[in-house]
Structure 1
Amino acid sequence: MNDHTTPPTPDAVPGPTPALRRVHGIGRITVALLALAGVAWAARAVWEIRLAVTGEPASGPPDQGEGVHRPLTSLENSYHLVGDVGAATALICAIAFLLWLDTVRDNARTLSGRPPRYLGFWLYAGWVIPVANLWIPRGIVADAHQDSAPGERLPRSVNVWWGLWLIGLISGVGLMYADDADDIIARAYSEPWMLLASDAAVIAAAVAGTFVVRAVTAVQQRHIDGDVRHGEASGPAGA
């Protein structure tokens, strides 16, 4: 027996592997909210069609310039309400999507044993920092899938979803548009087809997003279900 054997240092002892976080529940909620956001945005589009068909009042657009606003028509008032409901739905959907993305990214780190390419800061800032928001959010989703299922092809829905999202974003009337409701009303009177094309991209992105969430969730759920079955087999009955 060698009395001079150096005992292993604490750093040499591997720590416990973090448990995978449950993803099925938040995935289902996110899918439902994405679908609801798509319906809310479709309602906006219907109201914009109504505005275009009705035509601009003789008094001109709601914003008359130099801080002057004329009284809104009943249809314009109802568009404000529909827009507020859509914005609230989109905000709740965004929160759920970020919670889901945080969960799948943590699970991907556990499964791959590697830190994520984009640190926690980018999970939120990557959506709003100009230029970076053109690829980082997609990269986080793609990395989560590939780290969870190495060797598997990235679902086509990821690229479809991201392309549609960018169309809605760049067009200026997506989920992060800069115009207020009165400006959108004026655009519905003057250029409805551009507005509706952008709305269609946002609605389609919400639909494609449901397939993205389901695909990444399913990949990770396979690992979670496998861990559960392994744990049951290692119990008294399995022993």
Structure 2
Amino acid sequence: MDQASARPFGLRPVELPGQLAVGGLLLAGGAWVVRGVWEIRLSMAGEPASGPPDQGDGVHRPLNALEDSYHFVTTLAGGAGFLCALLFVSWLWRLRDNARALSGEEPRYGGIWVYLGWIVPILNLWVPRGIVADAFETTAPGRRIPASLNMWWGLWLIGMLSGVGLFYRDSTDEIIARAYHEVWPLLASDAAVVGAAVAGAFAVRAITRVQEERMRAGLTAGEPVGALPLS
């Protein structure tokens, strides 16, 4: 019987979900790099004589080819971000459940917060990081949290709160107008998002590796594992 089939009830392999989450993070980071490149192109091209795409009072002029391609790029980036979110949450759910099974302790945050923690205002400033940190600390008591985790979360917050990064308050046409006149805030926010994606990939790899090592060590040593039901 191999290790995979010998896993105690309540433990599930986390390595593949971790790899998928890393891939999703890097894909999203790459998509934001492309966004930044298009914003630079818009800035260098300059605003057309006809003015911004959104003319105000509900009037929009026809987009030129570059502006139209930016809409396409932002749509692809949004899709990459959505896929990244699905893969990351799937990894996080498994990480949390494994940590509970390994420790026999209830997680600090209920299972619903794996989803709601990202979208509830104010709470989304710390709950997602708290879920990851709690899973790590219960998996490996006494071990220092990877620096990449704090770096990921700090850059994520910058990208989220800047208003020009992850959660835009303006329409795509309004962002195009920003790129024409003041591109640097857009690029700074894009850089924060890309940095968060890279740091997040390192954090996921490090935390996944620690949990897999703990599970393998427990199986080898015959360590008792709490067989708590999954939620």
TM-score > 0.5, shorter chain as reference = yes
**2-side partners of 1:78 and 1:165: how far apart?**
26
Look up the match of 1:32.
Answer: 23
Residue in 1 that maps onto 2:192: 201
Runs of at least 5 residues in structure 2 that lack an aligned partner in the other structure:
1-7, 223-231
Distance (whole Å) between structure 2 residues aligned to residue 152 and residue 229 of structure 1: 21
For residue 160 of structure 1, report the CA deviation from its aligned partner. 0.5
Q: Match of 1:222? A: 213
Is 2:191 the counterpart of 1:192? no
Query: Structure 1 CA distance, aligned partners of 2:65 and 2:17?
Result: 39
Paired letter, 2:144: R
User: Are the equivalent residues in 1 in contact too, given 2:165–2:186 (CA < 8 A)?
Assistant: no
| 1:114 lines up with 2:105 in the alignment | yes
Asked if structure 1 preserves the Cα contact closer than 8 Å seen for 2:117 and 2:124, the reply is yes
Q: What amino acid does structure 2 have at the position aligned with 1:24?
A: E
Which one is further off, 218-227 or 53-62? Answer: 218-227
Map 1:1-239 to 2 at 5 A: 18-230=9-221
Q: Are the equivalent residues in 2 in contact too, given 1:34–1:93 (CA < 8 A)?
A: yes
Q: What code does the residue aligned with 1:192 have?
A: V
Higher deviation after alignment, 148-157 or 178-187? 178-187
Give the conservation status (yes or no) of the 8 Å contact 1:90–1:175: no
Partner of 2:228: none
Aligned counterpart, 2:225: none
- Whether the aligned pair in 1 keeps the contact of 2:10 and 2:97 (CA below 8 Å) is no
Give the residue type in structure 2 aligned to 1:84.
Answer: T
TM-score for the superposition, normalised by structure 2? 0.90
Distance (Å, rounded) in 2 between the aligned partners of 1:227 and 1:147: 14
- Structure-1 separation of matches of 2:218 and 2:150: 30
Q: TM-score, normalised by structure 1?
A: 0.87
- In terms of Rg, which structure is larger? 1
Runs of 4+ that moved beyond 6 A? none
Look up the equivalent residue of 2:44 and give its one-letter code.
V
Q: Which residue of 1 aligns with 2:3?
A: none
Separation (CA, whole Å) in 2 of partners of 1:33 and 1:41: 12
Task: Report what 1:12 is aligned to.
Answer: none
> 1:79 is matched by which residue type in structure 2?
Y
Q: How many Å apart are 1:176 and its aligned residue?
A: 2.7
Greater RCO (CA < 8 Å, at least 6 residues apart): 2
Q: Please report how far the alpha carbon of residue 227 of structure 1 lies from its aligned counterpart in structure 2 after TM superposition.
A: 4.2
Aligned partner of residue 37 in structure 2, secondary structure = helix
Q: Report Cα offsets for 1:33-52 as digits up to 9, x if no partner.
A: 11111111100000000000
CA RMSD of aligned residues (A): 1.3
